[in-house]
Amino acid sequence: MNKSIEIIKQPRFFILKLVEDLTTEQLNHIPQGFNNNLIWNLAHIISGQQGICYKRAGLPVAVEDKYFTPYRPDTKPERFINADEIAAIKQLFLTTIDQLETDIQNNLFTGYSAWLSRYGTEITSFDDALHFLPFHEGLHCGYMMALKRAVLNEKAGSLS
């Protein structure tokens, strides 16, 4: 396995473990003080990877648009995501990295448009993008950890 892919995949396993015990309602809940929820973040990581790797390379995304556009930057949860969609997102969370690895091996990423991330990182090549991905996903992992604590604390408080 490509080392860059391994570095991306291992935290994704951690994130799936982080949310595995949560209900559909908990995954969709937006706690007070937050502007999105856990399932939006999970899908946003997929959408971000598709945009950073595929779109910026002039390639079509490797997922259906319903897993890309609604989760792009500057979006927020628009509707309740049901259990079947959650299962599909969780599956895509890993299969999109497998597909990325295959596409790298098939040398699909030959062109890449330079861009400046919102964090001030200049991305000028696909290799830069591949190295930027763990930073972006790590930010959302931390955010998801905070979201999970808030969801569980709010739910615990409503039981008292």
For 102, list phi and psi in degrees, rounded to 5.
-60, -45
Amino acid at the residue 134: P
pLDDT higher than threshold 80 for residue 160: no
* pTM (two decimals): 0.94
Q: Which domain holds residue 60?
A: 3-154
Note whether residue 79 is domain-resident. Answer: yes
In a domain, 159, yes or no: no
In a domain, 91, yes or no: yes
Q: What is the Rg, in whole angstroms, of the alpha carbon atoms belonging to the chain?
A: 16
Tokens 């290799």 correspond to 127
Which DSSP category does 51 fall into? I
pLDDT of residue 157: 65
In a domain, 130, yes or no: yes
> Residue 21 maps to which CATH number?
1.20.120
> Is 34 contained in some domain?
yes
Instruction: Give the pLDDT confidence score for residue 155 in this predicted structure.
Output: 72
Q: Is the pLDDT of residue 34 over 90?
A: yes
Number of domains composing the chain: 1
The residue type at 124: T
Q: What is the mean pLDDT of the chain?
A: 94
What is the pLDDT averaged over residues 27-54? 97
Written as six digits, the tokens of 117 are 């991330």
Q: What is the mean pLDDT of residues 59-78?
A: 97
Within a domain: 138: yes
160, part of any domain: no
